[in-house]
């Protein structure tokens, strides 16, 4: 079967393309935004990428078109698809129909930490010899790909996004997956372009809860009022909580301020984790993954030992390079809570030198300015911050600069921003670049400029 994917370079759709290719289908795709790491792994898999959404990208006529949720009516590719009366479906529906049946499905949901937690869980299962399948909205470096089928009958880990499904299906993606185990990591307001308030997102999370069988399991973070409201709407599955509360079934105790060492306590057992990641938010992600892996028979000592060999997914506190003692870190943080958590962890792990933050507020929620009042405070653990005003951001970052608790600068040009960073940076500094997009290739430009100045 020839499957064409509209929006193929999105993290979810690109992963779906890999699964379709592994199933033996001929796969092609179109997208307006083609950049690594997704474009690289798609091309390596022999998938034909076509730039833009021209009508002739749908020739020769595919047997099925899978439509990404970023495409709306009015898009040239969507209109061509409908006019030609081609068979079409959504990515989540295709996954539910062709990959998930017969598998033990573990869905990882939450406003933050889905990619890291799903990557951790897949790695724990892999280390236990279970060869899981997975679809993750990033590229786990322990695997080198964002999706694979895994062994027949092995568990399947899916990053379960609450964003809507497609232009013709406005339910959240995760309602399609019908998991045996659902991890609910956290929940706060996001995706202001499709949800009017937090209550609307809570309702979608409850739709997910409704699909978990009574013989399944809900793994729920403690200290999350929104998740408690979700469960209060009705719950028909066993619930285990994880976090730092003394009453939680899975409990976390930090042994270092930067969370690079922590203790896990569960069912009368405890084990210590020493690993490369930092930040309490990542330790909680690991705790969730351990709890989920336990539902597949992975014991606590084995799981904790495997975490020491875990490599962060690409774009999650990923060290892109170090020049003259100056480290450049890439992070996907796209929400004030995620920005604050990442910087807090890196601050504790940076005993020498400064922590310099470079942030592009690029997500749909950021572009709408819904959370702009929280941005200034989110960077208080940095020594200085540069805010980049991208094209299409309809509000000014000046108010964020005015109320910033640390020295803050606005930049409108990437080359000028790189020059300013190089002029400021000195040995032992860590520059963390935060964006949910390509950010104009700033990471490579910054490393090249640092090499010229400090190499």
Numbered residues of the known binding site: 110-116
Give the number of other CB atoms < 10 A from CB of residue 233: 13
Alpha-carbon distances, residue 99 vs 20, 109, 151, 158 (angstroms): 9, 19, 12, 11
d(CA 307, CA 292): 14
Residue 364, burial from CB neighbour count under 10 angstroms (0-12, 13-18, 19+): middle
Query: Torsions phi, psi of 294, nearest 5?
Result: -65, -30
b/e per residue, 141-154, with b = 16+ CB within 10 A? Answer: bbbebbbbbbeeeb
d(CA 165, CA 440): 28
DSSP β-bridge partners for residue 31: 51
d(CA 300, CA 306): 10
Alpha-carbon distances, residue 418 vs 38, 205, 251, 268 (angstroms): 24, 41, 42, 52
d(CA 283, CA 253): 9
| Sheet with 48-51: strands ordered across | 48-51, 26-31, 2-6, 64-67, 88-90
d(CA 373, CA 150): 44
Return binding residues for ATP.
110-116
Structure tokens at 250: 């899975």
Short-list 260, 276, 453, 440, CA closest to 358: 440
């Amino acid at each position: 079967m020839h499957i064409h994917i509209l929006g193929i370079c999105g993290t979810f759709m690109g992963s779906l393309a890999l699964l379709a290719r592994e199933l033996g289908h001929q796969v092609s795709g179109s997208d307006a935004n083609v950049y690594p790491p997704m474009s690289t792994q798609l091309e390596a898999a022999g998938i034909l990428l076509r730039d833009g959404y021209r009508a002739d990208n749908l020739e020769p006529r595919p047997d099925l078109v899978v439509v990404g949720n970023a495409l709306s009516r009015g898009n040239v590719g969507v209109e061509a698809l409908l006019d030609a009366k081609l068979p079409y479906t959504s990515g989540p529906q295709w996954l539910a129909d062709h990959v998930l049946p017969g598998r033990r499905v573990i869905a990882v949901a939450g406003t933050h930490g889905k990619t890291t937690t799903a990557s951790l869980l897949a790695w724990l299962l892999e280390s236990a010899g279970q060869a899981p399948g997975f679809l993750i909205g990033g590229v786990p470096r322990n695997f080198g790909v964002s999706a694979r089928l895994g062994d027949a009958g092995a568990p399947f880990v899916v990053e379960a996004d609450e964003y809507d499904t497609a232009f013709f299906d406005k339910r959240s993606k995760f309602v399609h997956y019908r998991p045996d185990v659902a991890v609910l990591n956290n929940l706060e307001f996001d995706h202001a372009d499709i949800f009017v308030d937090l209550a609307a997102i809570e309702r979608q999370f409850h739709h997910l809860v409704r699909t978990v069988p009574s013989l399944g399991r809900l793994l729920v973070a403690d200290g999350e009022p929104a998740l408690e409201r979700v469960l209060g709407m009705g719950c028909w599955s066993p619930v285990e909580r994880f976090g730092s509360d003394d009453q939680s079934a899975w409990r976390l105790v930090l042994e270092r301020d930067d969370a690079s060492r922590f203790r896990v306590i569960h069912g009368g057992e405890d084990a210590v984790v020493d690993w490369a990641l930092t930040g309490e938010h990542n330790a909680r992600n690991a705790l969730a993954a351990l709890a989920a892996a336990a539902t597949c028979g992975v014991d606590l000592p084995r799981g904790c030992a495997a975490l020491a060999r875990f490599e962060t997914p690409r774009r999650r506190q990923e060290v892109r390079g170090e020049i003259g003692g100056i480290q450049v870190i890439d992070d996907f943080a796209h929400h004030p809570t995620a920005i604050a958590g990442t910087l807090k962890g890196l601050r504790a792990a940076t005993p020498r030198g400064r922590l310099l933050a470079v942030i592009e507020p690029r997500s749909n929620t950021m572009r709408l300015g819904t959370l702009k009042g929280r941005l200034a405070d989110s960077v208080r653990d940095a020594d200085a911050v540069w805010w980049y005003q991208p094209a299409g951001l309809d509000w000014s970052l000046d108010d964020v600069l005015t109320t910033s608790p640390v020295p803050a600068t606005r930049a409108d040009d990437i080359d000028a921003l790189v020059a300013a960073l190089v002029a400021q940076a000195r040995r032992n500094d860590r520059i963390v670049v935060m964006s949910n997009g390509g950010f104009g290739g700033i990471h490579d430009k910054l490393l090249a400029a640092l090499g010229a100045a400090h190499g």
